[in-house]
Amino acid sequence: MKPTLQEIQKLAKDKHNETKKYFDKLKKKPPKNLDYAMQELHEAEFRRTDCLECANCCKTTGPLFTSADIERIAKHLRLKPQQFIEQYLSIDEDNDYVLQSVPCTFLDHDNKCFIYDVRPKACREFPHTDRKKFQQISNLTLKNVAICPAAYNIVEEMKKKLPL
Ligand code: SF4
Ligand code: SF4
């Protein structure tokens, strides 16, 4: 059974200080095999994760939409990019295109994504735990472990496999 959003938020909150300290050390001295180790941890976790049982990311945080995302998704929906922007997106404080509201408009009631094949790059890459130079996104990961059970497990496993 996957933890609920409330449960994962509590687990991440209880571990917040420990995780933050770990990430501070990671930034100062990342292990040489970090990229390889993260790839392994990420793949192992997602082999046993069914995102359709969760969809916390789609329910709580929206992705950023790049120009390429907008063109691709608009074409798929047979809209002009500007029509797609007006209908679905707004601009945030960093001047990025984001969803007008969450849960995501494209999330179906059974946790499937209506635009899965053409979804934004940020959705495809979430929770970014297989990213190269993972130490550079530790602030983002601190937020993501409070949403994503897979990211939480990967970071907990990481602490065990790569003690600092
Ligand atoms: S576009 Fe699809 S994958 Fe991305 S947040 Fe929306 S429902 Fe989820
Ligand atoms: S990526 Fe994480 S938050 Fe999103 S559906 Fe999968 S397990 Fe849930």
Q: What is the pLDDT of residues 106-131, one digit of tens each?
A: 999 999 999 999 999 999 999 999 99
Q: How many Cα neighbours within 13 Å face the side chain of 132? A: 0
3-state secondary structure of 153: helix
118 in contact with ligand 1, CB cutoff 6 A: no
**What confidence tier does 66 reach under pLDDT thresholds 50, 70, 90?**
very high
Q: How far apart are CA 49 and CA 105, in angstroms?
A: 23
Q: At residue 1, does pLDDT exceed 70?
A: no
3-state secondary structure of 10: helix
Tokens 């992705």 sit on residue:
63
Q: How far apart are CA 44 and CA 161, in angstroms?
A: 13
User: 11 CB contacts (<8 Å, ≥6 apart)?
Assistant: 3, 152
164 in contact with ligand 1, CB cutoff 6 A: no
38 CA to centre of own chain: 15
pTM value is 0.94
Contact 33, 40 (CB under 8 A): no
Residues near ligand 2 (Cβ within 6 A): 49, 51, 54-57, 126-127, 147-150
Q: How far apart are CA 15 and CA 141, in angstroms?
A: 13
- 15-64 pLDDT, tens digit each: 999 999 999 999 999 999 999 999 999 999 999 999 999 999 999 998 99
Tokens 């983002």 sit on residue:
140
Q: How far apart are CA 86 and CA 97, in angstroms?
A: 11
